[in-house]
Amino acid sequence: MAALYEGYTLCGVGTVQNSSNIGILGVEQGRDIDHVLVTDSSRFITVYKVSDQRPTGSWSVKRGQMISCPAVFNTQSQEYVVVTDDKVVRVWNKDDVNLEKAFKATVSADVLRVLSATDSEPVVLFCCGAVRFLDLLLASPQQPIEHVLAEDEIIRWSTIVKAEHQLVILFSTEQRGEHCLYIQRFDPNTLVKHRFETEPGLSAPISFSATCRGSNIHLLYLYLNGSVYESVLPLRRSSTGAEGVLALSRSLCLSLPLGEEKLMSGAVVVLDEAHVAVVGFPHPSAGPCKDYICIWNTHFQTLQACKEMAGRIYSQLWCYSGKMYIPHGKMLSVIPFECQKSSLAAALGKQKQTSQSAESKSCSFVSSWTAQTYSDVTQTAEIKSRMSTKNNSDVKSALTVDQLIEHIKTSAVEDVQAEVGEFIRWTPQADLQLAVGRLALELVSRSQTDANFYPQCVFLRLLETRYLCYSVCPELLSLAMVKKDFHLCQIAFQIFSDIPEAVTCSYLKTILSTSDSEMETVNLDTDSVMFMKELTRAQSRSDEEGGQLNGFCSPALESDVSDTPSNKLQRDPLALDMSCPVGLHKGALLNEVLQTAYSDRPLLPHLKDFTVPQVIVFLQYLRFLYFKYCHDAHKQIRALRTPSISQIIDWVCLLLDAHFTVLAVAPEAKRLVSDLHKFVRSQVKLYTELGKIEGSLQVLKNSKRSEDFGMYAIQVIELF
Amino acid sequence: MGEFKVHRVRFFDYMPSGIRALAFNGDTERMAVARMDGSVEIFHCSDRFFQEKIIPGREQCGIEGLSWVGERLFSAGLNGGITEYDLTNQKVKYTIDAYKIPWYTFLVGCEDGTVKLFEVNEDKIQFERNLDRQKSRIVSLSWHTSGSKIAAGMMDMIQIFNVETGHSIHRMLADRGVGTSRSKECVVWSVVYLSDGTIVSGDSVGMVKLWDDQTGTLIKSHNVTKCDVLALSVSQNEDSLVAGTSEGTVVQFQFVSMVLGKDDKEWVRTRTFKNHTHDIRAVAEITTAVVSGGMDAQLVVKPLLDKIEVRSAASALRKIHFPHRRLVFCARNSGLMLFQYPGHLELWRLGESEGKGSSLFVKRNPEKLLHLKVKGEDHIRCSAVSPCGEWIVYSTASSLRLYRLHYQRFLFLFFQISKLPKVLSSANQLCFSSDSSHLFSASTQSSVHIVSLSQSGCKFVGTLKPKSGSHQAIHLLAASEDGEWLASANSDHEVHIYNLQTRKAHCTVPVYSSAVTAMGIHPTTNCLFMMYADQQMCEYSIEQKQYTDWSRTVQRKGLHRLWMERDTPCLNVMFNPQNPSHVILHDTYMLCIIDQSLPLPDDKTQFYNQLTLKSLTEDQRKSHSHAFKVCKTFKDILCVELISDQSLVVVERPLEDVATQLPAPIKQKKFAT
């Protein structure tokens, strides 16, 4: 699960003289997570407090001088470092007003970049490939710098990764079309060279992003054809490392869809282990426009969030502490984002299985990405206005998720209900999507520990948002089953598409073992109950009609109730038993289960746990439905959700498979099974007859165009 | 079951002749039909309209009217003769000249304006006298049931004559049409004199008029059509009247009371049928149906559903296009076909094919070897070609001719056998033995003459005579493959079997109520397989002189409903020499192979199951197949014959082709044309 929030502008981007894709030189982490250091491509270095969207300090170099690398903040000395005119290293602190008056030192070789990681000394990377710690360099600025790279080898990209007090510098170079990756480690100083695999038609990677996870560096790099590869490099060099140039092993982790337009640039940045943000690539469903920032899930290759950026995108993207920095048009925008641990259901979206009736389709919330962008566009104004008022006191009335969770832990049911309702009403959809899961988890854990706490309305409310799925909060269903909250279960079964087969079976068992009288008191989804009523009413009606037709409806017979069944039997021994074996509510709940998605193989072992009476009741009910459907197929009962005939048949098959021996042995099942068999046999016969007709019709269709052969022909006919 | 190579032949240009007159005999349930070419056919109305007898016509012999007197049939023709027919031997009995007679027998209206009265004697008719001579032509005549008055339709008027005096009683003027047709004479094409004194007339203006013979006044007039009303016919109890028009419609009038329960009845126009494309020249109302025939050469039997109680084969509309006799004969061993036209014979050699597939490439086209014109004016009654293809024989009413063909590689010799035995003067049916060594000729008294054929000529061998029974003409002959047996079927439904070795009658198959339409003797079992007009089938073992077990099973279980409902008779029975249990049959619309080894279908099984079987797998077919394998690929079949290389010859005559050769019908204005 990932979401992009409404972004805001940090600063303008200076007019760019050169036509390269560089809007600004760089954005670097400032003194804390709320500060960034923006170096623009002309002469200015500005420090911004991000949350306030305002600069806290700004410096510029003299006209004629040029900043040649992004400024960095040295967290150890609390000083800023920048290099001007390739060789002059300038160091100043935030109180310095004039950069000219700050410390400067001229080094003997061209500096490419100064790289800084938190709580460690900045590293200076020279164009020739050599590295020096800044303090050591400044101690003797004119020290000779060795040539590590060949003369025509140019560094294209570089970064610093720090983990476990270990600094690693990564940089990629290009030499006559050959692209290599260098890994510079310290303590001991080693430099390892890797060669990128090249494929015909695939030029160099256009964008890199490196993160450290565990004891490995994960390097992601993007090609123009939309492939995102990942290479895993060890943080510490293995002792048995071979010398020389190594091929870089890689794995494809994402294939971005390409539009029709030819792409020139793009950028990728790793957000967490499963998500990457990409700019410069077209949105898969929004046409050829490239001005989108998209978050992709690399595990499931799904698009998780996207946002259209106004103006040209410069193929630059930085990410620091939950915010993305993206220059576009004439501004640098900050876009906060959030990535959550991904479940498959969440990654795939919230689509329910399609049900038969069109009405239900229209009412179910289908999360479509085009719709999402549309709502984003429309909401922009609204949200902006809210953003502007956020600074005012209004913001206090709506709680944040964290606050709400705290409240849930302690408050009474009524308060929680009110607060959650308020929260759902006021939180934008994108935020809600993430918050609902957390809320549900918290509510369930409270309910599990506190026996008196069971906010059914809140759960229903959360379900109604349709952002919840089983995997987000697996405990919810089991809780509801323990509490025998069949209404909640019913709604959950309607909405969740990822209920495991074991849970489905245990729910089925719960339903089947609950008595009908207990069930009738439960308040259920009216539509499903209406369907059951119609279904059973159709039966009694047809019974009446049959009685009238046969002239058996004498008052004497009617009054003698006990006599009626035997009379019925006498009347028509072939008549099928069409009475509903379960109550209306139970039937409605069973219908819901029949419509849930399942895979038969995992379901079968759980089905085997049923007791014999449960099996028989369930099979009776399925038979009832099957007969009903076959007899009243023409009857259109208007209901939103009804089990389809194939679902019913599938369940009959499953049940028969799972309990074959039981049904063969159990005496009470004998009549049921033989009835079913009789009916199925007649149906099979009917369908074979239909099959015959089909063949004939087919031939008729083909024979329509009989050829005219003139006066004489010799043909071959075949008789069967 | 198997594949058959089929020669589909459509170049037999057979043209049925238009129907000119109908006469219904209610006592014998026979319908006599006269055609434009002079032929007269007798249909058995209660035996599914089977064409029992055919009396071939002659050149220049136009029949204008037909009439039954008891069981005697008379016709009058444009050549001025009255003809009585010998129905037993299916030939003309005698013709007497009555001077330019256009209409009617024993009471003859003449072109010169006289009505001649003839007396019908035991074996002759005799001219009695003339009625008053009129100025204009007499077109139609009708007796009153009392026998004292006659109505005559003439140009522009109808006259009523007193037969006693010969004088005219009334003259009723028929109106001419309006507009341009005013200048044209109104021809009273048809009159009917009802017993209550009403005279009904149909005329060229399109009116059906009802007159009172007492006052000579018009009672009522119905405008039926814009064209001519050509034919009228009244039912036997005079409560229904049908009129045929030149548009091809039949209009029914009924004598019903206008107010329920009251007695004052009126003639009301009730129904209109349109089953013809051309002029209707004759209509007749029989017990349960209206029969009509006209220029489009089809006899249409339209049942009146109010007179039918149960739905059966008799309640379906029946159209008879083709004669119920064979007109095509195949020389089995040499791939020759003989086409019998009324005035000539054609001999064709079948083509050859190569390749595989459902439609084969024709390597050699069929070729016409012979076109043989009939000597004399009589039309051909029957013909045959021997299995070897070396002998051709045909017979007219007056003569029989035998020809010998001799093929060499490029030479084709053809000569007539001149010295024929005297017994071979004429034949009702002809048949060769399977080895082509003998000719069987069905003669009078249901007898069959045997003639042996050889290089030098032919020699009379003997005559086969039935032990007893009727002397009706034989219409079917079947010789067994081994030359032992000969079966003959006559119009009285008798089937006699003769032993050819002893030349004696062997036995007689029990007489069945329906006529035999086709029969054949099985080559290996020597069982006689017979098809009847009511679609029943029987298999009779000649050696055991009894019905076979299979035949009894069929009779016990009954045939499938759909089989019984077919409305054309089976015209040929063949046997598949490779599979003795296969019997091949055909009617006009289908080809059927009966596999006697398979179970019979009951009414619940799907009868026409070929399409179903085709879509099933080999194993499933076994459970679904039954004895009747019906192939409906072919339409309008005149003949199916199995020739010796296991291929079938199917001669079709598509009705569309027939329709294109008919004269143009009356042009009718259709909407938006």
Q: Which of A696, A700, A717 sits opposite B6 (nearest CB)?
A: A717
CA A485 – CA A479 distance, rounded (Å): 9
Q: How far apart are the CA of B570 and the nearest CA of chain A, in angstroms?
A: 19
Q: Which of A696, A712, A714 sits opposite B10 (nearest CB)?
A: A712
Which segments of chain B belong to CATH 2.130.10.10?
99-223
Is the pLDDT confidence value at B19 over 90? yes
Helix (H, G, I), strand (E, B) or coil at B334: coil
Q: How far apart are the CA of B579 and the nearest CA of chain A, in angstroms?
A: 14
**Range with the lowest mean pLDDT among A92-96, A255-259, A492-496?**
A255-259
Band (pLDDT 50/70/90 cuts) for residue B80 is low
Question: Between B457 and B403, where is the model more confident?
Answer: B403
Instruction: Give the mean model confidence (pLDDT) for residues A405-429.
Output: 84
- Residues from chain B contacting residue A696 (CB–CB below 8 Å): 611-612, 615
3-state secondary structure A211-256: EEECCEEEEEEECCCCEEEEEEEECCCCCCCCCCEEECCCEEEEEC
**Range with the lowest mean pLDDT among A264-273, B130-139, B288-297, B430-439?**
B130-139
Strand pairing category for A292-297 and A302-308: antiparallel
Contacts 24+ apart (CB under 8 A), B459-467: B459/B421, B460/B421, B460/B423, B460/B424, B461/B503, B462/B503, B463/B423, B464/B488, B464/B496, B464/B498, B464/B503, B464/B504, B464/B505, B465/B505, B466/B494, B466/B496, B466/B505, B466/B508, B467/B505, B467/B508
Count of other CB atoms within 10 angstroms of residue A474: 17
pLDDT tens digits, residue range B409-454? 777 788 888 888 888 888 999 999 999 999 999 988 889 999 999 8
- Residues from chain A contacting residue B629 (CB–CB below 8 Å): 719-720
- Residues from chain A contacting residue B647 (CB–CB below 8 Å): 714
3-state secondary structure B354-366: ECCCCEEEEEECC
Could you tell me which of B617, B579, B585 has the C-alpha nearest to residue B598? B579
* Contact with chain A for residue B354, Cβ under 8 A: no
B212 burial via Cβ count (<10 Å: 0-12, 13-18, 19+):
middle
Instruction: Give the mean model confidence (pLDDT) for residues A23-31.
Output: 83
For A314: left if phi > 0, alpha if psi spans -120 to 50, otherwise beta; the answer is alpha
**Range with the lowest mean pLDDT among A184-193, B72-81, B332-341, B353-362?**
B72-81
Question: How is residue A712 written in tokens?
Answer: 């004489």
CATH 2.130.10.10 at B99-223, yes or no: yes
Query: Which residues, other chains included, contact B617 with Cβ-Cβ below 8 Å and sequence gap of 6+?
Result: none
**CATH code, B17-97:** 2.110.10.10
Q: How far apart are the CA of B557 and the nearest CA of chain A, in angstroms?
A: 23
pLDDT at A320 (0 to 100): 87
Helix (H, G, I), strand (E, B) or coil at A206: coil
- Name the range with the highest mean pLDDT among A31-35, A516-520, B546-550: B546-550
Helix (H, G, I), strand (E, B) or coil at B207: strand
Q: What angle do CA B576, B581, B584 make, to 5 degrees?
A: 45
Query: Which residues, other chains included, contact A520 with Cβ-Cβ below 8 Å and sequence gap of 6+?
Result: A583, A584, A585
pLDDT at B99 (0 to 100): 53
Could you tell me which of B49, B105, B101, B55 has the C-alpha nearest to residue B78? B101
Share of chain A above pLDDT 70, in %: 80
Kind plus residue range of the DSSP H or E element containing A200: none
The answer to whether residues B532 and B287 touch, using CB atoms and an 8 Å cutoff, is no
Is the pLDDT confidence value at B528 over 90? yes
Q: Which of A695, A700, A715 sits opposite B358 (nearest CB)?
A: A715
Is the pLDDT confidence value at A359 over 70? no
Q: How far apart are the CA of A705 and the nearest CA of chain B, in angstroms?
A: 13
Task: For residue A566, report the phi and psi dihedrals to the nearest 5 degrees.
Answer: -65, -35
Hey, of A690, A709, A716, which one would you mutate to test binding to chain B, going by the most B CBs within 10 A of its CB?
A716
CA B318 – CA B567 distance, rounded (Å): 7
Question: How is residue A561 written in tokens?
Answer: 């109730």
Share of chain A above pLDDT 90, in %: 3
pLDDT at B181 (0 to 100): 66
Band (pLDDT 50/70/90 cuts) for residue B527 is very high
Q: Which of A691, A698, A716 sits opposite B6 (nearest CB)?
A: A716
pLDDT tens digits, residue range B39-56? 999 999 988 899 999 999
Answer yes or no: do A714 and B615 touch at CB < 8 A. no
Residues 579-618 (B) with a CB less than 8 A from some CB of A: 593, 606, 610-616
Band (pLDDT 50/70/90 cuts) for residue B313 is low
Provide the CA A292 distance to its chain's centre, in angstroms. 18
Q: Which of B359, B616, B629 sits opposite A713 (nearest CB)?
A: B359
Task: For residue B451, report the phi and psi dihedrals to the nearest 5 degrees.
Answer: -130, 130
The amino acid occupying position A435 is: A
**Range with the lowest mean pLDDT among A137-141, A301-305, B464-468?**
A301-305
Is the pLDDT confidence value at A388 over 60? no
**Range with the lowest mean pLDDT among A65-79, A354-368, A429-443, B187-201?**
A354-368
Provide the CA A219 distance to its chain's centre, in angstroms. 23
Place of tokens 């007396």: B119
Band (pLDDT 50/70/90 cuts) for residue B382 is very high
Mean pLDDT, chain B, rounded, equals 87
Count of other CB atoms within 10 angstroms of residue A185: 17
- Taking CA atoms, A181 is separated from A170, A193, A197, A211, A247, in Å, by 7, 6, 11, 15, 10
- Taking CA atoms, B507 is separated from B284, B467, B500, B550, in Å, by 40, 9, 12, 20
- Residues from chain B contacting residue A695 (CB–CB below 8 Å): 611-612, 614-616
Task: For residue A2, report the phi and psi dihedrals to the nearest 5 degrees.
Answer: -145, 150
Residues in chain B: 673
pLDDT at A467 (0 to 100): 82
A214 burial via Cβ count (<10 Å: 0-12, 13-18, 19+):
exposed
Helix (H, G, I), strand (E, B) or coil at B89: coil
Hey, of B607, B608, B614, B647, which one would you mutate to test binding to chain A, going by the most A CBs within 10 A of its CB?
B614
pLDDT at A537 (0 to 100): 75
pLDDT at A55 (0 to 100): 86
- Residues from chain A contacting residue B631 (CB–CB below 8 Å): 717, 719
Answer yes or no: do B3 and A717 touch at CB < 8 A. yes
Q: Which of B11, B358, B610 sits opposite A720 (nearest CB)?
A: B610
Is the pLDDT confidence value at A384 over 70? no
Question: Between A164 and B459, where is the model more confident?
Answer: B459
CA B17 – CA B323 distance, rounded (Å): 11
**Range with the lowest mean pLDDT among A331-345, B100-114, B201-215, B233-247?**
B100-114
pLDDT tens digits, residue range B572-615? 999 998 899 999 999 999 999 999 999 999 888 888 888 888 88
pLDDT at A548 (0 to 100): 40
Give the predicted TM-score (pTM) of the model: 0.55
pLDDT at B629 (0 to 100): 92
Is the pLDDT confidence value at A383 over 80? no
Band (pLDDT 50/70/90 cuts) for residue A633 is low
pLDDT tens digits, residue range A394-414? 444 567 888 888 888 888 888
Which segments of chain B belong to CATH 2.110.10.10?
17-97
pLDDT at A346 (0 to 100): 55
Instruction: Give the mean model confidence (pLDDT) for residues A140-145.
Output: 88
pLDDT at A53 (0 to 100): 83
Is the pLDDT confidence value at A557 over 60? no
Answer yes or no: do A712 and B9 touch at CB < 8 A. yes
- Name the range with the highest mean pLDDT among A66-75, A214-223, B532-541: B532-541
CA B21 – CA A4 distance, rounded (Å): 98
A282 burial via Cβ count (<10 Å: 0-12, 13-18, 19+):
buried
Mean pLDDT, chain A, rounded, equals 78
B91 burial via Cβ count (<10 Å: 0-12, 13-18, 19+):
buried
Instruction: Give the mean model confidence (pLDDT) for residues B84-106.
Output: 70
Q: What is the CA radius of gyration of chain A?
A: 35
Could you tell me which of A717, A180, A388 has the C-alpha nearest to residue B631? A717
CA A583 – CA A533 distance, rounded (Å): 10
pLDDT tens digits, residue range B383-397? 999 999 899 999 998
Hey, of B584, B610, B647, B660, which one would you mutate to test binding to chain A, going by the most A CBs within 10 A of its CB?
B610
Q: How far apart are the CA of B614 and the nearest CA of chain A, in angstroms?
A: 7
CA B248 – CA B648 distance, rounded (Å): 38
Q: How far apart are the CA of B626 and the nearest CA of chain A, in angstroms?
A: 10
**Range with the lowest mean pLDDT among B73-77, B203-207, B457-461?**
B73-77
pLDDT tens digits, residue range B132-184? 777 777 888 888 888 788 888 888 889 888 888 888 888 888 888 776 667 78
* Contact with chain A for residue B150, Cβ under 8 A: no
Band (pLDDT 50/70/90 cuts) for residue A380 is very low
Is the pLDDT confidence value at B523 over 70? yes
Is the pLDDT confidence value at B26 over 60? yes
Helix (H, G, I), strand (E, B) or coil at B431: strand
Measured between CA atoms, the residue of chain B closest to residue A714 is: B7
Instruction: Give the mean model confidence (pLDDT) for residues B110-116.
Output: 63
Hey, of B1, B8, B14, B634, which one would you mutate to test binding to chain A, going by the most A CBs within 10 A of its CB?
B8
The answer to whether residues A615 and A667 touch, using CB atoms and an 8 Å cutoff, is no
The answer to whether residues B443 and B396 touch, using CB atoms and an 8 Å cutoff, is no
Count of other CB atoms within 10 angstroms of residue B563: 18
pLDDT tens digits, residue range B224-261? 888 889 999 999 888 899 999 998 899 999 998 888 77
3-state secondary structure B386-403: CCCCCEEEEEECCCEEEE
Band (pLDDT 50/70/90 cuts) for residue A226 is confident
pLDDT tens digits, residue range A317-341? 888 888 889 888 888 889 888 887 6
Question: Between A23 and B533, where is the model more confident?
Answer: B533
pLDDT at A363 (0 to 100): 33
Instruction: Give the mean model confidence (pLDDT) for residues A646-666.
Output: 89
**Range with the lowest mean pLDDT among A370-374, B174-178, B538-542?**
A370-374
Sheet architecture: strand order including B81-86: B63-69, B72-77, B81-86, B91-97
CA A233 – CA A73 distance, rounded (Å): 27
Peptide bond into A643 cis (omega under 30): no
pLDDT at A321 (0 to 100): 83
Instruction: Give the mean model confidence (pLDDT) for residues B196-214.
Output: 91
Q: What angle do CA A151, A153, A159 make, to 5 degrees?
A: 130
Measured between CA atoms, the residue of chain B closest to residue A704 is: B633
pLDDT at A344 (0 to 100): 61
Count of other CB atoms within 10 angstroms of residue B57: 25
pLDDT at B433 (0 to 100): 93
Band (pLDDT 50/70/90 cuts) for residue B644 is confident
pLDDT at A29 (0 to 100): 86
Answer yes or no: do A714 and B353 touch at CB < 8 A. yes
pLDDT at A152 (0 to 100): 85
The amino acid occupying position A315 is: S
CA A503 – CA A484 distance, rounded (Å): 14
